[in-house]
Each structure stands twice: as structure tokens, then as C-alpha cells.
């Protein structure tokens, strides 16, 4: 099989993986089935009652549960008094231990039913908060059919007084779209009664919305069915995910320790609202716009005036061409390591850009280049870039695809193999540009033993000292990002470098002013705001 055939097969299989990854369907949710309720008389073997349970509700899980994709977040049972209530309401429950012999069934204990009352139950399956289930046609929750009617037994735990009545006052609540929101959430805020005794917790329910859903349990960011605010808290805040649309209404149930839940008045109907701009990030936008504007301003000036844009000399970059020439004279290859991080790291991108220019030079000088890579995607992109470099130099025939090698995505395995390449192939020039970690000194020292000219550049600050000690030239931080523009001498790229320099000057000015403010007027409002900002953002 030829190299080209292998390549076609590889690309084809990759495309298949890609297609498989992109065709995950938007699912709809299947409801739980076969809900059965029974008074708690004797416990099944191995089961324990977490509280004063009086009814055991068992059901068959949703067909979508544990299908590989985690679709069901949780199950929530609701109950009503048979023949008295029309709607099902939340109550105090606990999930029973799963029965290993019947993995498809699950059960709950009712913990606050009143003995002698007749109840019937439903079970809701609530979907995971994934964007596909929220936005697509798939329902967010699905409900089972009602169970049989059961007469609640006396509570199992004798220490709890079965006749205890709670003084429960329903809570007031309001809902609004959260600030700077994407349009898939609603913020619910409830004012809790000042003195409520015998309250076990609260449960949030939602109804209406674009799909006119019946009233069902809503999971907020606390991510549980029973909300228990801290002792003495006067409000309860929850952000609930919601499909985009209008007509949502929320109801908050106060759940007593014993007896039936009391519903608040429904909130006013509310719709989601998507924000189009986050004003908190405008400062970043201003800097970005400034850099863009400066780039184009410098470019215009250079094109009009025909003047060269001045960039200070970077000896390390000047040395690259010289070092490639030296490798040619000695008849030995050039080694280029584009760091060990993923392609999306901007240091790797900067290095790949330089690789294009270096491979063009290498092709012109008729020398060999070896590019060991730690990440497969970097190797794939690197090979294309090297091929293009040879093509641009007019020597496509001299390019050998095997010169760009993926070695291992394990840091030290990669390091050991690259050292091996250095010791066996004896490259005359080593160029290390990109993101490096603990392997930097091991690579650079081995290169030194080989008497190679070494040029390194990284923005990883912890590795700079090692490169400075062991390499002939080291590009510090931002110099790495300037190499490609510097080598090209292209006005478009240089004007962008110049713009970055001006923004840097602005940063220095802000730092100086900030420091002066902190020293001269440490108590002023401006200084305090600045310090607060620095402390919360970390840098």
C-alpha cells in the first residue's frame, strides 16, 4: 500500500469519526411508568427508612435513563389526596436504596403524609440541563400516569408526633430574566415568611412557557428538588433554565414536616430575554478596537508614505537564517520543535507560522528539516505548513512527509525521543519555539552537547531561565509572537506589531497612574475600585 493510499484511508476514517460525533440527535424524554404506591408496613430486606415514612412509591425508570447519554437528571414524585385535590403537589420524600436485582425500578418514601389519608402519586422525570434538550423539540420533563390510591399508614418513626400541624405561610415570588443572560434562563426570587415553624423546605414548580407545559418540578442552580434556605434567610433565589419563549409562571410550594404542601400565588407570567451585549466586558472590547484601529492606521501611513516601519532588531531572529546557513555548510539537518502544547495554544500557532518561513528558508538552502511533534494535530498542520514552505521555495520535490513526525503525546516520552533524534541525526541547528514545560532544559542541554546552534522562544515564564542558560539565543515572551512578522518584513504584519506596542505603552501608563494613585491617595474611591477589580480578577 502506498503512502498516498494510507493517507486517504486515514482521512476517510477521521471523517467518519467526525460525522459520528456531529450526528448526536436532539432527544425527547420518555416518561417513567408503572407507578405503584403501598403503605409501609414491613421493610424489604436491606432497606432502611431515612425518616418517618408512611408510603412506599415504586416505579419503572424512564426508557431514556442510563442509555449511555445522561438524559435524566432526576425523578421527582408528586402526590394528591384522592378525590379532594385536583392538582398534584410536591411533598417531603426520600429516595430509597436501589434494588440491585431490579436496576430498572426505583422507589421513594413519602415522609410527611398524614396517617389514614388516601393519596395517589405521579413521578416526573426531569431532563438534564443540556442545550439540546432545552432548545430542541424534546420535552424538559415527562410525567407518568397516576398510581393506585393508597391509605397512608402510621409513620414508621414513633418519636415523631403524627398529628403535628405546621404553621405554614405561602411565600411570595417573582421571576425575571437574569442580567446579561443568553435567553435560556429565568431568575426566580421568593420572599419567605418571617416566622414559619415546621417547614421542611420549599419546592419550585413551573408551568406554561412556549410549549404550554403542565405544572412540573423546576430545578434551579441549587440542583435539587427540595430547597432548604439557610436558617433565618428571608429570601430564596434560584436561576432556572428555560427554553426561549414567553408565558412562564412559577409556583413555590412550602413543604411542612407533616401534612400537605401549600402553594404560593403563581408569579406573574414572564418570558426569557437574550442580551446582545455584556457591558461588563466593554473594557476588553475597547482595547481590542484600539488595537485594530491602530493596526489599520499604521498600515495606511506605511502604504501612503512608503516609509519602512521601524522595528527594533531581535538578534535571536536574525540568527535563524544564519543558523540554517550553517547547517547547510555542515551538511546536517535543522531541528524544529513547535512546543508540546495543543494547536489552540496561541504559542503553538505563532510557532507554526514561523515554521512556514523556516521551512521555506531550509528548502532554499537545500537542507533537511526535522520536526518532531508532541500533539497529532500539530503534526498534521505542521506537515502541511512544511510542504507549503518547500512549495513556495520552488522545491516541492525535496519535501519528505516523514520529516514531520508525531512522536508521543506524553511529555517525557516525546522529550526522550527528541533527544534521541538529536544524538543520532546530529542537527547543526535546533530551533525550539512554542510552549515548553519541564523538558526545556533536557532538550537544550542535549543540543548543547551536540554543539548545535540553539534558538529558543517561549512565553512560559518558568522555562525561560533554562533556555537562557542553555541556548545561544532566547526570545522572551512577546518576541516569540513577533518572529513571523519580523521575518516577513511585510508592512501589514509590522503595523500590527506596532499597534500592539502602542497598546502596551498605554498599559504602562495606566500602571504608572494606578501606582501613583495607590501611593498618594490610598483612601480615594477610584483607588479602592481599582484594588477591588484587581483582587477579584486575580491579575
Partner 1 sequence: MRTTFPLLITFVAGALLILEFFIPHAGLKDVVGLMRDWGAVVTAAAFVLGAVNVLQVNIPKIARREADWGYKAVLVGSAIFTAIAGFYYGKVEPTGVYGWLFDTFYAPQNATMFALLAFFVASAAFRAFRARNLEATLMLTAAIIVMIGVTPVGEKIPFLDFTAVKDWILEYANNGGRRAILIGAALGAVATGLRVVLGLERSHLGSD
Partner 2 sequence: MLERLTHLDRRWLFLAMGIAIVVPLLLPVSLSFRVSPMVRSIYDEIEKMPPGTTVFMSVDYDPSSKPEIDPFTRAVIRHLLRKRARIVFATLWETGVPIVQGLMAELIEGEYAHGTGYFADKPHPPYVYGRDYVFLGYKAGKEQTIAALGQNIAQLFPTESRGTPLARLPIMEGKTSLRDFALVLNPSSGFPGSKEYVRQVVARLNLRFASATTAVSLTDLTPYYPEQIFGLVGGMRGAAEYEQLVGYPGTATAGLNVLTFGQMLVIAAIVLGNLVYFLQRARTRGRH
Burial of 397 (0-12, 13-18, 19+ CB in 10 A): exposed
Residues in the chain: 539
CB-based contact 63:69 (threshold 8 Å): no
| Candidate residues 169, 196, 311, 476; the one interacting with partner 1 per rule CB under 8 A | 476
Q: Is 275 in the site for partner 1 (CB under 8 A)?
A: yes
Q: Which one, 95 or 211, has the nearer CB to partner 2?
A: 95
Binding partner 1 (rule: CB under 8 A), the pick from 4, 100, 194, 276 is 276
The one of partner 2, partner 1, none whose footprint includes residue 400, by CB under 5 to 8 A per kind, is: none
3 state SS of 190 = strand
Residue 222 interacts with which of partner 2, partner 1, none, CB < 5 to 8 Å by class: partner 2
Measured from the CB atom, the residue of 50 and 420 that comes closer to partner 1 is: 420
- β pairing state of 213-217 and 199-208: antiparallel
In angstroms, the CA 147 to CA 119 distance is 9
The partner in contact with residue 161, picked from partner 2, partner 1, none with C-beta cut-offs of 5 to 8 angstroms by kind, is none
Pick the binder of partner 1 from 466, 473, 474, 486 (CB under 8 A).
466
Q: What is the dihedral of CA 59, 62, 68, 69, to 10 degrees?
A: -130
- Ordered strands of the 453-458 beta sheet: 404-406, 369-373, 334-337, 429-433, 453-458, 473-476
Find the shortest distance in angstroms from Cβ 13 to partner 1.
Answer: 6
Query: How far apart are CB 422 and partner 2 at their closest, in Å?
Result: 16
Residue 493: which of partner 1, partner 2, none does it interact with, CB under 5 to 8 A by kind?
partner 1
Residue (173 or 227) nearer to partner 2, CB: 227
* Residue 295 grid cell: 493596526
Cβ distance to partner 1 smaller for residue 249 or 492: 492
For residue 400, the cross-strand partners are: none
Q: Where are the alpha helices (DSSP H) in 393-490?
A: 411-425, 440-449, 464-470, 478-488
Q: Of these partners, partner 1, partner 2, none, which one is at the site of residue 470 (CB under 5 to 8 Å by kind)? A: partner 1
Backbone angles phi, psi at 357, to 5 degrees: -70, -40
Q: Pick out residues in 76-95 that bind partner 1 (CB under 8 A).
A: none
Q: Which residues bind partner 2 (CB under 8 A)?
A: 70, 73-74, 95, 97-98, 128-129, 221-224, 411-412, 437-438, 449, 461-462, 535-539
Quick check: 464 binds partner 1 (CB under 8 A)? yes
Pick 23 or 344: Cβ nearer partner 2: 344
Which run of H or E residues covers position 283? helix 282-305
Cβ closest to partner 2, residue 222 vs residue 297: 222
Mind spelling out the 3-state secondary structure of 129-143? CCHHHHHCCCCCEEE
The residue among 75 and 119 lying less far from partner 2, judged by its C-beta, is 75
Amino acid at each position: 500500500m502506498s503512502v498516498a493510499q494510507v493517507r486517504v484511508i486515514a482521512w476517510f476514517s477521521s471523517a467518519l469519526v467526525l460525522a459520528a460525533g456531529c450526528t448526536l440527535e436532539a432527544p425527547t424524554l420518555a416518561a417513567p411508568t408503572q407507578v405503584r404506591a403501598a403503605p409501609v408496613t414491613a421493610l424489604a430486606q436491606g432497606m432502611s427508612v431515612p425518616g418517618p415514612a408512611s408510603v412506599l412509591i415504586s416505579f419503572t425508570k424512564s426508557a431514556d435513563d442510563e442509555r449511555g447519554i445522561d438524559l435524566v437528571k432526576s425523578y421527582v414524585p408528586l402526590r394528591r389526596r384522592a378525590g379532594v385535590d385536583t392538582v398534584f403537589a410536591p411533598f417531603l420524600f426520600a429516595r430509597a436504596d436501589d434494588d440491585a436485582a431490579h436496576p430498572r425500578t426505583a422507589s421513594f418514601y413519602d415522609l410527611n403524609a398524614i396517617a389514614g389519608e388516601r393519596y395517589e402519586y405521579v413521578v416526573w422525570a426531569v431532563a438534564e440541563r443540556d442545550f439540546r434538550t432545552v432548545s430542541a423539540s424534546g420535552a424538559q420533563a415527562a410525567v407518568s400516569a397516576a398510581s393506585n390510591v393508597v391509605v397512608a399508614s402510621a409513620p414508621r418513626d414513633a418519636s415523631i408526633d403524627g398529628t403535628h400541624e405546621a404553621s405554614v405561610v405561602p411565600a411570595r415570588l417573582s421571576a425575571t430574566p437574569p442580567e446579561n443572560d443568553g435567553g435560556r434562563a429565568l431568575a426566580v426570587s421568593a420572599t419567605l415568611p418571617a416566622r414559619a415553624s415546621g417547614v421542611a423546605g420549599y419546592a419550585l414548580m413551573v408551568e406554561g412557557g412556549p410549549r404550554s407545559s403542565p405544572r412540573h418540578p423546576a430545578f434551579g442552580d441549587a440542583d435539587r428538588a427540595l430547597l432548604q434556605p439557610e436558617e433565618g434567610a428571608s429570601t430564596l433565589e434560584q436561576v432556572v433554565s428555560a427554553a426561549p419563549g414567553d408565558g412562564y409562571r412559577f409556583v413555590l410550594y412550602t413543604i411542612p414536616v407533616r401534612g400537605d404542601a401549600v402553594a404560593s400565588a403563581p408569579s406573574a407570567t414572564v418570558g426569557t430575554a437574550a442580551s446582545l451585549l455584556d457591558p461588563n466586558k466593554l473594557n476588553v472590547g475597547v482595547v481590542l478596537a484600539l488595537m485594530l484601529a491602530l493596526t489599520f492606521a499604521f498600515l495606511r501611513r506605511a502604504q501612503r508614505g512608503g516609509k519602512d516601519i521601524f522595528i527594533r532588531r531581535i538578534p535571536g531572529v536574525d540568527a535563524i537564517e544564519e543558523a540554517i546557513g550553517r547547517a547547510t555548510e555542515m551538511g546536517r539537518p535543522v531541528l524544529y520543535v513547535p512546543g508540546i502544547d495543543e494547536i489552540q495554544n496561541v504559542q503553538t500557532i505563532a510557532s507554526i507560522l514561523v515554521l512556514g518561513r523556516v521551512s521555506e528558508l531550509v528548502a532554499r538552502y537545500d537542507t533537511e528539516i526535522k520536526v518532531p511533534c508532541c500533539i497529532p494535530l500539530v503534526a498534521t498542520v505542521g506537515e502541511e505548513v512544511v510542504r507549503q514552505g518547500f512549495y513556495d521555495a520552488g522545491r516541492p520535490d525535496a519535501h519528505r512527509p516523514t520529516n514531520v513526525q508525531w512522536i508521543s503525546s506524553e511529555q517525557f516520552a516525546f522529550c526522550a525521543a527528541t533527544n534521541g533524534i538529536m544524538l543520532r541525526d546530529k542537527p547543526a541547528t535546533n530551533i525550539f519555539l512554542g510552549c515548553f514545560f519541564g523538558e526545556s532544559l533536557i532538550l537544550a542541554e542535549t543540543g548543547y552537547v551536540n554543539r548545535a546552534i540553539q534558538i529558543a522562544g517561549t512565553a512560559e515564564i518558568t522555562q525561560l531561565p533554562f533556555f537562557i542558560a542553555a541556548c545561544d539565543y532566547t526570545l522572551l515572551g512577546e518576541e516569540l509572537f513577533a518572529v513571523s512578522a519580523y521575518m516577513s518584513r511585510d508592512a501589514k504584519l509590522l503595523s500590527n506589531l506596532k499597534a500592539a506596542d502602542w497598546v502596551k505603552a498605554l498599559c504602562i501608563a495606566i500602571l504608572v497612574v494606578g501606582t501613583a494613585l495607590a501611593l498618594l491617595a490610598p483612601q480615594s474611591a477610584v483607588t479602592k475600585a481599582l484594588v477591588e477589580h484587581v483582587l477579584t480578577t486575580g491579575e
